[in-house]
A = this chain, B = another copy of it.
Amino acid sequence: MSDNRIPVAVLGATGNVGQRFIQLLQDHPWFRVAELVASERSAGKKFSDATVWRLGAEMPEAVRDMTVLDYSADLQSVVAFSGLPSEVAGEIETRLAANGIAVVSNTATHRMEPDVPLIIPEVNADHLAAIKTQQANRGWKGFITTNSNCSVMHLVLTLKPLQDAFGLKKVLVTTMQAVSGAGYPGVPSLDMIDNVVPYIGSEEEKMETEAMKMLGGFVDGAFNTADFVLSAHCNRVPVRDGHTECVSIELGSDATPADVIATFESFRALPQELGLPSAPARPVVVRYEDNRPQPQLDRDTERGMASVVGRVRPCPVLGLKYVLLGHNTIRGAAGAGILNAELLKAKGLLPA
């Protein structure tokens, strides 16, 4: 690895999303993990002493001996990837952004603010224009960008090509979400052995609002909301990783399942054109078997960075339906943040 990679910090480094950031940044061609930040309980310790590593492979060698910094540390990094708990994210992210750092956040806190971009690079890269507005509004040297909630991320990635090709009128989605989305310890096993929980706090609201921001425009310094309606039913199921979503949709113009499949298959966008390191070759991958996608078999498609779609067929109520599956802690969280940072770099938007 070259020594002149861009130094980055991981905020909330000991948590589930923090660990994914570290895992995915291992051997990254552009970024180098230089600083790890966590709560007081961990601060001052070696990262390997402060952290129970919960991802399959070993903790990357490069971070084992790094000393964990506390929330109030002055960071030297150019980018700060944030997997902070929402209770503390607001203040910390704000301070770092004010001080000149590009905060790339997976936390919900700032997502819906009127000058904060909520970005999926394949969907609304043009929303990055809000950074300027944000810096002007707030007098910051740095800035905050965010990625969306994990379940709406994959939904929107599949809606975007349909919106462009046919327009969107109505979307009804029922999710079956993996437990890793709730972190560790997260969901008790007594709720997940021989059970389904038909409720995830605030999740339906997040899906219904974040989708509208991402699929809407940024015009004259303001976000406007997309003009379709979305309804979400969110459920927790006994799956480790990978959210499955059943989607019914009313398009703005007629389209057969074959048309929709062709639209998914041909969908390419800015990350693919720019060749961003974490970009999937195909943002939406179509499976043709009756019983796919499945979390077990499909969540690692395109290294977890794609949405996998199957069972595209007519819906007697809304016209069209399909199933989608996406990795919730890779494309749905840490991987989304990294792709956003790659886009910032490629567009020359990182602080000097």
Residues of A within 8 A of B (CB): 54, 56-57, 170-172, 174, 176, 179-180, 184-199, 201, 208, 229-231, 233, 235, 237-240, 244, 246, 248, 290-297, 300, 310-311, 315-318, 321, 323, 325
Contacts and interface: CB of A to CB of B under 8 A. Distances in A.
Nearest to A243: B196
B291 A190 contact: no
A190 B194 contact: no
A193 B239 contact: yes
Given A56-B296, A192-B193, A311 B199 contact: yes
A246 B235 contact: yes
A210 B174 CA distance: 22
A37 to B, nearest CB: 23
B190 A237 contact: no
Contacts of A297: 54, 56, 195
Given A192-B189, A199-B290, A237 B237 contact: yes
A204 to B, nearest CB: 9
A230 B171 CA distance: 16
Given A300-B57, A316-B208, A316-B229, A194 B295 contact: yes
A196 B291 contact: no
A291 B297 CA distance: 28
A198 B294 contact: yes
A237 B176 contact: yes
Given A186-B188, A238-B237, A244-B198, A229 B193 contact: no
A238 B316 contact: no
A295 B190 contact: no
A202 to B, nearest CB: 11
Given A56-B297, A233-B246, A291-B198, A317 B170 contact: yes
B246 A194 contact: no
23 contacts: A172-B172, A172-B318, A174-B246, A179-B190, A180-B190, A185-B185, A185-B188, A186-B190, A189-B191, A193-B193, A193-B238, A193-B240, A195-B295, A196-B239, A196-B294, A197-B294, A198-B244, A198-B291, A198-B292, A199-B291, A229-B317, A233-B248, A238-B238
A323 B200 CA distance: 13
Contacts of A186: 188-190
Nearest to A194: B194
Given A195-B239, A237-B238, A321 B231 contact: yes
A292 B290 CA distance: 31
A235 to B, nearest CB: 7
